[in-house]
Structure 1
Amino acid sequence: MQQYETDHLNLVLDNAAECTVLLKKNGKFPLEKPCKIAAYGSGMRYTIMGGTGSGEVNTRFSYTIEKGLEKEGFEITTKKWLDEYDEVRKTAKKEYYKTLKKEAKKKHENPIMYLMGKELLEPCHGLALDAEGGDVCIYVLSRNSGEGSDRKVVEGDVKLTRSEVRDIIALNKKYDRFMLVLNVGGPVDLTPVMEVGNILILSQLCSDMGKVLSDILTGKQNPSGKLSTTWAAFEEYSAEGTFGDFNDNEYKEGIYVGYRYFDTFGHKALFPFGFGLSYTDFDISFKDAEAKGSVVTLKAVVKNTGSAAGKEVVQAYVTLPEGELPKAYQELAGFAKTGLLAPGKEEEIVISFDLKDLSSYDEKSASYILEKGEYIVRVGNSSANTEVICVAGLDEKVTVLKTKNCLGDPGFKDITAPSFDRGNVPAKAKRILIDAKDFSCGEVSFDREYEIDDKVKELSDEELCYLEIGGFDPNAKGLSIIGNAATHVAGAAGETTSWLENKGIKPLIMADGPAGLRLSLEYYEDEKGAHGVGGAGMIPESMQEAMGPVARFIANLLTGGNKTPKGVIIKEHAATRIPIGTAIAQSFNVEFAESLGDIVGDEMERMGINLWLAPALNIHRSILCGRNFEYYSEDPLVSGLMAAAITRGVQRHKGCGTTIKHYAANNAETNRYCNNSHVSERAMREIYLRGFGICVRLSQPHALMTSYNLLNGTHTAEHRGLIEDVLRCEFGFEGIVMTDWVMSMMDSKNSIYRNSLSNEVAKAGGDLFMPGGKKDYENVLNALKAGTLDRKQLEINASRVIKMAAKLA
């Protein structure tokens, strides 16, 4: 390992417990030291370190939890059970892939694409729990998901299997010191095992999960994460709207997503948003509140009242006044995390937020408004454990920002919440008066002018069209997919055109992987560029495993794979696996998130990558979305702040930028290329776009990726309202806009909507159609010649690409 690898890995390992969430405790942990331990569950040997597809990272090494615990000095007493489980899983997986291939044939779907993202359901079994020795036991329950497929409400996925429930309950009764460890990327329904006294969300963190778990079990690290998504019995989640329909999904729940739904509609969570315990305990006492203009500042003191060092997260929620628009019971307004507090020590926490950021979108006036009345401010350590500490009274209605409705008609009206009790305001609560005259308000200008680069004016129509399309070789065989759409860095996801380097326009090199750079670990170089050894990195490992040897051979040929020549020099670029997006958000620590961005930025700089195709900040609308693991939260504030922190970390490195994605309303994987999300203007602006706006305003990412899906009948990549009016004019975005990796081979015969078209993307102000192919180039050129695409728009798009290439390449 090189020194940078060691440094980066150590930073992740030393802070990973910040991303873990202790759901239940009974005082039996931590342990005094490593010892004999009975360890069960699929996660022991089949440890999930990140979701499938783009979530995969080609690291130098990866240890299972079993190996990691042993490395730290634990003696595993359940080898016989783990060996027997190997056979159970092997048989189940073989049958599972047979079934999937039959399903693909029956549904007339591309078998390779149909397999993408689909994960083996946890198999049931009757293995005996007969380990001997020791009084400590863990059960590591594991779940995986990935891009291309959504989760299911069945045993072995969202629900626990009968054998999991049976074994967890039995072990909890048998062992004095038992912990249920959750190696998952999203919620599972824990209803049947709520009697367990110790439950830890380990999540999916890094390449040595056993080391992190060992540190937590022995108290070297103390869990300090909080839930960024509500955990509940599945039946308690919102059933409003639709999810998983092949062609159309209706977001009828409007703004009532996640805790906004639970709190407003009176549904009960097993573990609410913002919840998380520690090996120690804390007391939060309110100190003061004040307002300057529209900014409210809160001060509180956190004291460690327990016997272990730890960190606490203070959260501020606001209940908006009743008025013209229906509201949620409360919204997260801000949060802050303490440093490591020793027992008996305390720290003053300051949380500031702008009331304008809590404005509601009024579709009638096409504006963000704050209604007259009382804004009740609550402070606590979860959404369900707060107290009212002050009330801010606004003397009259304020129009914060005047804009325009431009996102289309969803075809329905959002649900309206029932009347709810806003809670009692105690007499001791401080009252603050806010004068509407102190607000600075604005109006969006949609007459934005763009400078056209002098180089662009000199380009021919053909050359101009090359800049609109991702780099491709018109004479190449095979297909451009992730890991096979670039020649400068082996395993890179794509790049802009190299055909204009003679005019001083260098290509931008892009790498995928939201949990770290996904590049070929080993590669060689020749006159044609850089190539992964054995085609590594071209097709995600999870897909290769499902294909079988013949399909793998054919797929590698189609995607440009080739045999490594003899005598070439084999080189390496090893990337660091960082925690998945949900785990980063669970830290509620923006400084730590920024340090993770710094890791990625450093490796980008070393390996010649200009744009990282991350972070992804789509909202956890439903726990069933297969790609939620790489998204942050059900809350847009948490999502936006984490994405902005990651971006700052990456972009402090020369020549490096982030690509925030997927813009927008990309909240399911079923038929993801051509699925139509029906969402109201208000819900889009308050929930699904807000995080993007926060990230852009705080960190100005260098690029943004649109999503595959349609929004109210128009592909997001072709949606001028999204790209020009909201993103550029309203949010002030200055970077380049690219599509996700659009390829006709991905299309389903069962979809009623077409895929995105390169000429329509260009017309909407999209700067890059990725990954790019000859047909995509011809579509743009033909539209330009036919007059259906204006050359000036292409010149504007190309100028942005050239400007970014000059800045980064």
Structure 2
Amino acid sequence: MSGKLTKRRSRKIKMSEQLTRDRAERQARRLAIKQLPLAQKKEALVADKRAQKRARLNDKRVLKALPKAERNERKKEAKVYRKLKNRPRRLIIWSAVALVVVGVAIKIGPTAAHMYTIMSGKNVVINTETPAGEKARALGNKVSREIAAEGIVLMKNEADNLPLKDTRVNVFGTAAFNFRYGGGGSGGIDTSAAVNLFDGLKQADVSYNQELRQFYEALPEVKKAEATQNDSGMMQVVKSMISGNDEDEPAIAYLKEKVIKQAQAYSDNAVILLASSGVESSDMSQEQLQLTKNKRALIQTVAANFDNVTVVVNAGNALELGYLEEFPQIKSIVWVGTPGPYGTAALGDVLAGKVNPSGRLTDTYAYDAKSAPATENFGDYKYNNLKQSYVNYQEGIYIGYRYYETYYKDDEVGYHKAVQFPYGHGLSYTDFDWEIVDKQLTTDKITVEVAVTNTGKRAGKDVVQLYYSAPYTNGGLEKSAVVLGAFGKTKLLQPGEKQTLTLSYSTNDMASYDANKEEAYVLEAGDYQLKLAQNVHQSTLDFTYKVPKTKVIKTDAVTGTTIKNQFAASEADLTYLSRADWQGTYPSDKANNHRAPQFVLDELAKKPTDSKLPMPQFEQDNQLKLADLKGLAYDDPKWEQFLDQFTKEELIDYVVNGAYQTEAIDRLGVPSAMLLDGPAGLNSFFKKFKAASFPSENVLAATWNDQLGYAMGAAIGKEAKVYGVHGWYAPAVNLHRTSMGGRNFEYFSEDPVLSGKMGAAVIKGAQAQDIIVFMKHFAMNDQETNARSGLYVWANEQSIRELHLRPFEIAVKEGKTLGTMSSFSLINGKWTGGNAELLNQVLRDEWGFEGVVSSDAVFGFMHADDAVVSGNDLMLDTMSAPKNVKRIKAAYEADPSGTAIGLRTSVHNIMYALLQTYLIK
């Protein structure tokens, strides 16, 4: 009997917890619908009902397919759930009915319920609980821990404070009980099995003050933090919108003298966590990057009472850490980022000396985050003649280290007052010596072979960074004083061991884009200073490469396509920052014109007209199935015969209903394909399911190890294959334009080369498992504020090409990505998914991309009729699909040939990408 009671109690607890989560997510949905315009609100409610009906039918089918014992247990759980749900004391009567099936409840709302239906599958049910699934997750977890360990950056280590000589530590601060494993939103992770900080220390044989831990656990702030962990991505977003991203430390009065005395008796070592993490849909303010009054008081109190203090930076954004320099007792600073579920274990290993830190920073750490010129135009700017917002990228090419290294060139005093930790910085527990053993400096390529020797007493890995400085003419093409060209990382070298790294890049990569005179890349004549460096500011070995004659690069090296300006309209007659006149061109939002340009208004008012192109055929009986095209080139004539078989309605429905699962067309042998988020491991934005979780992308980038990027991609690809997933919405290769970006954790770096190389590695690893990888968000999706309402982005062509498109270009040319996700942004006055210059002229024609472009989640300004004629193939549309179907049909009436050809091209692109996957053998 006691066993039955225990099982009932367990069932009740499980269903109670599920009900609590469901209520919170439904309330979030209610809030979201409430904010919609009336017409969209009605559409959302209608879509709700339809989605609920589909989900109920699907649940019955899934339930029926379960083994009898499991089916009976699910029925019992559902019964308990209904009883709890219908109790009289319930404060809110929910309009939707939830059924508990396969361990999770259906999430109601057009987005969430539709997502659940997709996840359950019209024809496929994702089952992660198989031996193959367990094996794939085990591999992913292993890679996850490797990345976490190798991504840790030792920022400061005075007097060799680390690794710990006395492995007893006092852990101070409530942040230790709310460790940030990842960011929030679609890039979030499942933390249900994450190792907490204290267990991570214990696993590394680092002893912690248990009495101090118990003291903290009794604090109400700690109890509150622990109760909200492992929310779904949607709940993280909603909570951040309501109450911000982070909890502060309590007022220091809680830390009584007797607590301090007990801790001093235990050990002279103290560890303080500084925790902060971004969440999709909201950005950081400068205040959120600074240490609060209470955090400063905690640091001051701990430093006053302990001689050996280590600060752990557990944050997805570059924080302002200058305050830490006021305390000589703070001997060590360790950056862990948001390192995934095993980040605490990796941290413990680094503190104990079991792992030698080898990470390098992916951002410049400035004393004042607002000292970066890009911050002058970052935030909320609205038009007064249009219900949308805008942002000006007046900093031009000078973001991150490109600004600080150029502005403070030849001013070391000024530089060190501005920059606390330079880009690429990172320390080790051992020492390394570098020697150039060979240089091949040809017309086309720079190749340097560097022998790296471990001259210290501990095994460790080293990172070699190769930078170049191009000759600059005052008033000429804008050029950063220094730019990353290549990088390499050693294996684990034992003391005395040597390894030779080969670093190389094309000489064309050193060219600057000339949008005014040449409409081409220009490699100017002169001396190019190359340096092998510990970080962007600290070189070890220098040499010179001479370009005897200016080279104008008018065609793409891969495709041979003529290069020309594509984004002239995006410059918007703005003044852009120039090193020829820093003060006169420095960005300011004070003189912003809050009126949208007339050409933007004209673009919005534009109606489709008849293209009068040759009309394609429909509904032909050519006896072809999709599998018949397996292995054929994209331009094989048989594709036209296959596409002639579609009906107009099939083409429209296929491109519009592309959210997370493509539609099946049985008569043509087209199966449904499953497409999932996210950048830190397979997940759903709306609910949790069991999959390996990885560190955030900026932690992966901090490893400076593209082999680990490949391993992560391969592990996720193997999981996808086991689970029946065919496409992955990741990686995100946008830049850290400022330190305030809400999704900086989800993006690799402030530098396009590191971002592109790591992204390409992840793509290659995943696509080696025969899935589609959707690099995202193409392009210029660098702030969250107003992004989902349609954000007009204005920038000059040089910065667009050299910085913001560059990581995507690398991902296409080196990663061979089969998929791309367009962004929310509007460039050249047009939404990126309806932007033929971006998607067709640059992505496809210039770079040679062959594959499928999906939109990001569809909002009101994103129109399917614009997409299909501009190179965007699939609509990630969970709510407004019926409206987009109507829009395409209306466009077809006005321009039948242009719309029909656009639809065919989109379906061609999608089908071609699907044929490269394991979906069709």
Q: Which residue, 778, 800, 806 being the options, matches 2:909? A: 800
Q: Which residue, 446, 470, 483 being the options, matches 2:657? A: 470
Query: Is the Cα contact below 8 Å between 1:69 and 1:210 reproduced in 2?
Result: yes
Query: Is the Cα contact below 8 Å between 1:720 and 1:764 reproduced in 2?
Result: yes
Query: Is the Cα contact below 8 Å between 1:225 and 1:588 reproduced in 2?
Result: yes
Partner of 2:675: 510
Give the partner amino acid of 2:536: S
3-state SS of 1:325 partner = coil
CA distance in 2 between partners of 1:767 and 1:418 (Å): 43
Query: Is the Cα contact below 8 Å between 2:445 and 2:506 reproduced in 1?
Result: yes
Partner of 2:888: 780
Give the partner amino acid of 2:876: M
Partner of 2:564: 404
Q: Where do residues 511-590 of structure 1 align in structure 2 (5 Å cutoff)?
A: 511-519=676-684, 538=686, 574-590=690-706
Cα offsets for 1:62-87 (capped at 9, x unmatched)? 22212332454444322244225443
CA distance in 2 between partners of 1:113 and 1:48 (Å): 15
Query: Which range moves more in the overlay, 401-410 or 2-11?
Result: 2-11
Q: Which residue, 472, 481, 491 being the options, matches 1:339? A: 491
CA distance in 1 between partners of 2:191 and 2:691 (Å): 5
Query: Is the Cα contact below 8 Å between 1:319 and 1:377 reproduced in 2?
Result: yes
Cα offsets for 1:680-730 (capped at 9, x unmatched)? 111000000011111100121110000011113211111110000110011
2:913 corresponds to 1:771: no
Q: Which residue, 186, 196, 201 being the options, matches 2:317? A: 186
Partner of 1:165: 296
2:157 corresponds to 1:25: yes
Partner of 1:461: 648
2:442 corresponds to 1:255: no
3-state SS of 1:311 partner = coil
2:579 corresponds to 1:417: yes
CA distance in 2 between partners of 1:223 and 1:237 (Å): 29
Query: Which range moves more in the overlay, 695-704 or 710-719?
Result: 710-719
Partner of 1:137: 270
2:427 corresponds to 1:281: no
Partner of 2:139: 7
Q: TM-score scaled by structure 2?
A: 0.71
Change beyond 3 A, Cα 1:236–1:313: farther
Cα offsets for 1:366-386 (capped at 9, x unmatched)? 111101111111111100101
Query: Is the Cα contact below 8 Å between 1:708 and 1:716 reproduced in 2?
Result: yes
Partner of 2:864: 758
Give the partner amino acid of 1:336: G
Q: Where do residues 59-138 of structure 1 align in structure 2 (5 Å cutoff)?
A: 61-77=193-209, 78-87=212-221, 90=224, 115=241, 118-126=244-252, 127-128=254-255, 130=260, 131=263, 132-138=265-271
Residue 449 of structure 1: CA displacement?
Answer: 7.8
Change beyond 3 A, Cα 1:117–1:3: farther
CA distance in 2 between partners of 1:699 and 1:757 (Å): 29
CA distance in 1 between partners of 2:746 and 2:242 (Å): 16
Change beyond 3 A, Cα 1:166–1:344: farther
Partner of 2:379: 244
3-state SS of 2:272 partner = strand
Give the partner amino acid of 1:263: E
Partner of 2:720: 604
CA distance in 2 between partners of 1:91 and 1:330 (Å): 43
2:542 corresponds to 1:389: yes
3-state SS of 1:54 partner = coil
Query: Is the Cα contact below 8 Å between 1:639 and 1:691 reproduced in 2?
Result: yes
Give the partner amino acid of 2:498: E
Residue 578 of structure 1: CA displacement?
Answer: 1.0
Give the partner amino acid of 1:409: S
Cα offsets for 1:291-310 (capped at 9, x unmatched)? 23310111222222222111
Partner of 2:182: 50
Partner of 2:454: 304
Change beyond 3 A, Cα 1:456–1:153: same
3-state SS of 2:756 partner = helix
Q: Percent identity?
A: 28
CA distance in 1 between partners of 2:214 and 2:467 (Å): 50
Cα offsets for 1:601-655 (capped at 9, x unmatched)? 110011111111000000110110100101001110001100000011101113x
Partner of 1:496: 662
Partner of 1:526: none
2:311 corresponds to 1:149: no
Give the partner amino acid of 2:164: L
Query: Is the Cα contact below 8 Å between 1:700 and 1:735 reproduced in 2?
Result: no
Query: Which range moves more in the overlay, 575-584 or 117-126?
Result: 117-126
Change beyond 3 A, Cα 1:308–1:802: same
3-state SS of 1:278 partner = coil
Query: Is the Cα contact below 8 Å between 1:89 and 1:123 reproduced in 2?
Result: no
CA distance in 2 between partners of 1:758 and 1:4 (Å): 37
Change beyond 3 A, Cα 1:86–1:113: closer
Change beyond 3 A, Cα 1:245–1:767: same
CA distance in 2 between partners of 1:361 and 1:576 (Å): 41
Residue 12 of structure 1: CA displacement?
Answer: 2.5
- The total of aligned residue pairs comes to 683
Change beyond 3 A, Cα 1:304–1:376: same
Change beyond 3 A, Cα 1:538–1:236: closer
CA distance in 2 between partners of 1:189 and 1:84 (Å): 30
Residue 124 of structure 1: CA displacement?
Answer: 4.2
CA distance in 2 between partners of 1:762 and 1:341 (Å): 53
CA distance in 2 between partners of 1:56 and 1:91 (Å): 17
Query: Is the Cα contact below 8 Å between 1:43 and 1:183 reproduced in 2?
Result: no
Query: Which range moves more in the overlay, 399-408 or 373-382?
Result: 399-408
3-state SS of 2:683 partner = coil
Residue 53 of structure 1: CA displacement?
Answer: 0.5
3-state SS of 2:266 partner = coil
CA distance in 2 between partners of 1:610 and 1:303 (Å): 44
Change beyond 3 A, Cα 1:539–1:782: farther
Query: Is the Cα contact below 8 Å between 2:178 and 2:225 reproduced in 1?
Result: no
Query: Which range moves more in the overlay, 365-374 or 296-305?
Result: 296-305
CA distance in 1 between partners of 2:803 and 2:699 (Å): 20
Query: Is the Cα contact below 8 Å between 1:677 and 1:710 reproduced in 2?
Result: yes
